[in-house]
Amino acid sequence: MPPPCVRRAVCLRASDCDFMVMFPECIECRGTRGMCGISPCPLLADIRGRLPVVQSGSVSELVGPSPPSLFVGRYGYPDVRAGPSAAWVPEDSDAVPLASGDPADLFGKPLEEVAARHANLITGGSVMPIGSTASPGAMLETTQEIAMAEKSVDVELDFARPIMVGRNPTFDSMSTPLGPSGEVLRAEVVGHASIPRKVDSIANEDDLLAADAMGELTEASIGEAQISRLLSSGLLGREGSRKLVPTRWGITATDDMLGKRLWDRVRDHPSLDKVLVYEATYLDNVFHIILTPGLWAFHMLEAWTRGSVWTGTGKVLGDWEDLKPRTTRLDWVYSSTWIRCGARGPASSGGTSVLNTGRQ
């Protein structure tokens, strides 16, 4: 039963006109913290039921392309499950496997396609200490080679027992959908891994702090997704301090470190002399970025409309920061948004953006 402090609200979901039970805490929990006391999250369960159904089966071994992709779990830390992911596509299916390890490349695709492509990713791995990077075994070496690859690479996985495939993926509001996973006896890269020269150099540099390594990789046009993979697989940092980092933590740490490096550069930029507005729409979400003249400040507002997935009554969330960096905790998605505005937004004379062309 839900805790007595949780107030229940029954709302009509605008997306499908079904009556759903919601709580004021849903917007904060988003299926990850169990604040309503109901397990599993009924809203996520409803979304899973909408995903396309494909023919199910089982595999004991798999040879397929890795986008590249890997996964390092956080449960059991400091002993974590780590290993590569490879795509499984049914013989009679015309589905196209993921050809990139960067989630941003799926921007603009239908939700069903995004979920289906991730659902077909099978993750193999084994449990190992986070300090295994000091003397990596065959499994970790394969995982690290995939982390270094910039393009899709063929991988062979031999599982300890058959893995059920074709089922709905597991996911929450913080992670991309995850397909099936299982214990792997052997993992091997069987194709040619295309590794950028700078990535290879940084991975073999044993006297460079992880933050400095990220800065050099960014300057070499290595994307955030690959930097995060390198961090999670224990390829960044000084010798003796490298370790496996759970995927979820690695994404957050990458955003945070790159954001801090950007700060010194952005705050010295000249002020804009006009107001610029950038906008985009995707999956019923509307994005606006407004750049105004003046000293550096950041204010993010996230407005959830009445009847949306996580709130029945509508709610506005916000994060902010001014010229003096915040020392208190930021609650929402400020770090990742800051990076994308700071790294790719226009300079004083205008320029390109991750969103549509700006207007004055």
295 burial level (CB within 10 Å; 0-12, 13-18, 19+): exposed
Contacts 24+ apart (CB under 8 A), 106-112: 107/282, 108/282, 111/283, 112/51, 112/52
* Dihedral-angle region of residue 103 (phi above 0 means left; psi in -120 to 50 means alpha; beta otherwise): alpha
Angstrom distance (rounded) from CA 332 to CA 100: 27
What was the pLDDT predicted at 72? 96
Residue 60, Ramachandran bin (φ over 0: left; ψ between -120 and 50: alpha; else beta):
alpha
Q: List the chain pLDDT tens, one digit each, 360 residues.
A: 444 333 333 333 334 434 456 777 787 777 777 888 888 888 877 776 766 665 667 889 999 999 999 999 999 999 999 999 998 876 666 666 666 778 888 888 887 777 777 778 899 999 999 999 999 999 999 999 999 999 999 999 999 999 888 766 666 555 666 788 999 999 999 989 999 999 999 999 989 999 999 999 999 999 999 999 999 999 999 999 999 999 989 998 998 898 888 877 777 888 999 999 999 999 888 999 999 999 888 888 888 877 676 766 777 888 887 877 777 766 655 555 656 565 544 433 333 333 444 455
* Structure tokens, 241: 């301090």
- Give, rounded to a whole angstrom, the gap between the first and last alpha carbons of the chain: 52
**What local confidence, expressed as pLDDT, does residue 137 receive?**
94
30 HSE (CA, 13 A, CB side): 10
Q: Identify the pLDDT of residue 320.
A: 82
Is there a contact between 340 and 355 (Cβ–Cβ < 8 Å)? Answer: no
Entry pTM:
0.78
Is the preceding peptide bond at 78 cis, omega within 30 degrees of 0?
yes
Reading the block at residue 259, the tokens are 């954001």
Whether the CB-CB separation of 4 and 15 falls below 8 Å is answered with: no
The whole-number pLDDT of residue 123 equals 92
